[in-house]
Amino acid sequence: MLHIVIAESELELVPREISNHPAILSHARKRRKKPEKLILDATYHYKALRRLENGERRGRPDIVHFCLINALESPLNKEGKLRVYIHTRNDEVIYVKPETRIPKNYNRFIGLMEDLFERKRVPEGIELLKLEKKSLEELIHEIHPDEVFIMHEGGELIKPIELGRILSGFKTPVVVIGGFPHGDFRNLPVGRKISIYKGSLTAWAVLNEVLVNYENFSIF
């Protein structure tokens, strides 16, 4: 079973310190929601982000959207050999059941995330998504992996297919992928740092390479 953690994801509600910014208030009126119940999104809130620490990398729920769609639609997930977790910058963890179908429409996805942050479990009764307060270290300890791999530009450079072979040799490997647009982990977890390309890649590109090459050794 492969465990994928999209870590330090830039997925959060609008912080209180910018909830009165004109860009936030305008978007809240259009959405007919309270500002603090909106998911922070650089597409609409980029002017307000200038007031936040690390504002240049925050407000990127689209990264989580792309990653979840790719992971949950993968053959590995359909074969029941994948578990996906979203860890946020504020040390929250979203547990994702394998049968979850993430909305392809981005606006519907944002609405789903806003409901999740408010209710902690959605949809009611089925609870395909569950949100808990938990650090990355606590999550990894809970999974109890036999090895942790951190996808990192400064890591050991190996071919993607070689990574797939290595991963297949473990019973419960965890692969940590940064859920932020650029820069480094704020708190780098303990594990083996791996790079699969000489330059930078998006989180979903890295995710796809990990999945496809692990599949080659586990189900095909």
Q: Which CA distances in Å does 187 have to 7, 101, 134, 153, 170?
A: 10, 30, 14, 15, 25
Q: 13 phi and psi, to 5 degrees?
A: -75, 160
Q: What is the mean pLDDT of residues 30-38?
A: 97
Return the pLDDT at 28.
98
Residue 11 has pLDDT above 90, yes or no: yes
Return the pLDDT at 220.
79
Q: In what order do the strands lie in the sheet with 92-96?
A: 121-122, 129-133, 92-96, 82-88, 2-9, 173-178, 147-157, 192-195
Instruction: Evaluate if pTM is beyond 0.95.
Output: yes
Return the pLDDT at 134.
98
Contact (CB, 8 A) for 7 and 174: no
Return the pLDDT at 124.
87
Place of tokens 């932020």: 180
Task: Tell me which architecture the domain covering 1-12+58-220 has in CATH.
Answer: 3-Layer(aba) Sandwich (3.40)
Q: What is the mean pLDDT of residues 76-80?
A: 97
- Which residues are 2's β-sheet partners? 82
**Domain spans in the chain, listed from the N-terminal domain onward:** 1-12+58-220, 16-57
> Please, which pLDDT band fits residue 93 given cuts at 50, 70 and 90?
very high
Return the pLDDT at 125.
87
